[in-house]
Amino acid sequence: EVHLVQSGGGLVTPGGSLILACAASGFNFTDAWMTWVRQAPGKGLEWVGRIATKRDGGTADYGAPVRGRFVISRDDSKTMLFLQMNSLKTEDTAVYYCAAGIVPARWGQGTLVTVSS
Amino acid sequence: SYELTQPPSVSVSPGQTARITCSGDALPKKFAFWYQQKSGQAPLLIIYEDNKLPSGIADRFSGSSSGTLATLTISEAQVEDEADYYCYSTGDSDSHNWVFGGGTKLTVL
């Protein structure tokens, strides 16, 4: 069974940094493109970005609001996905989901990131 | 940047057919995907590649796409179908960037 278990998150002040982690199991992580999606309180889903498999180049692409501030990475040896968030703004406050696939069919449980002074 | 446009809300009575639309300039060339999200839960993929049903999804859900408009149809809507629905697609020729529609709140009562 596919499992995506997220950790990290919490309260951070504006301008600060935070890293989210996503532990994957139950599928061939090495062959999976992975995606991050967020949802601000009471708002809709927003695509944050995705990372290719190493075989497909391992590159990441990002949505415009986070480009240049967030970095997606992966550790295939540990089947882990990461989201490094820098220069955080209050508008980055959201539940963040990791998900498997370019078109995600399996999702983590979500983790709340609150950016506030 | 690319946008997908959905109506904010749709309301139907139980047993009626609900239709939720998604408009995007690239939809003639790109697939649309649909997610259902119930309160407090992660999204669930219910339609992929315009009109395909994932395993385990009720066949009262269906999808279609014509020109710049994709449509999610819920036949004989049930109270349990009350949720937020999002379309998802890409506007890039090389599919580097993806976007969700703004979401549609479906009310069944």
Q: What is the pLDDT of residues B56-74, one digit of tens each?
A: 999 999 999 999 999 999 9
Give the list of residues 6+ apart from residue B10 with CB closer than 8 angstroms, or none.
Answer: B18, B19, B20, B104, B105, B106, B107
Interface of A with B (CB under 8 A): 35, 37, 44-47, 50, 61, 63-64, 97, 102-105, 107-110
pLDDT bucket at B15, cuts 50 / 70 / 90: very high
Average pLDDT, chain B: 96
Residue B25 to residues A61, A62, B30, B69, Cα–Cα distance (Å): 21, 21, 9, 8
Q: What are phi and psi of B81, to 5 degrees?
A: -85, -5
Residue with tokens 């600060």, as numbered in its chain? A16
User: Which three-class secondary structure state does DSSP give residue A90?
Assistant: helix
User: Which three-class secondary structure state does DSSP give residue A34?
Assistant: strand
pLDDT bucket at A81, cuts 50 / 70 / 90: very high
- Predicted pLDDT at B94: 78
Mutate to test the interface with A, among B96, B104, B105, B106 (most CBs of A within 10 A): B96
- Predicted pLDDT at A117: 95
Picking from A35, A46, A107, the nearest residue to B42 by CB comes out as A107
- Predicted pLDDT at B1: 86
Picking from B42, B48, B97, the nearest residue to A103 by CB comes out as B48
> Token pair of A21, please?
């982690």
pLDDT tens by residue, B19-36: 999 999 999 999 999 999
Residue A93: Cβ-neighbour burial (10 angstroms; 0-12, 13-18, 19+): middle
**Angle at CA B25, nearest 5°, toward B19 and B28?**
75
Read off the pLDDT of each residue in A60-81 and give the average, rounded to a whole number.
Answer: 97
pLDDT score of A85 more than 90: yes
> Token pair of A66, please?
């986070």
Mutate to test the interface with A, among B4, B34, B97 (most CBs of A within 10 A): B97
Residue with tokens 């980055």, as numbered in its chain? A92
Across the interface, whether the CB atoms of A50 and B95 are under 8 A apart is answered: no
Residue B79: Cβ-neighbour burial (10 angstroms; 0-12, 13-18, 19+): exposed
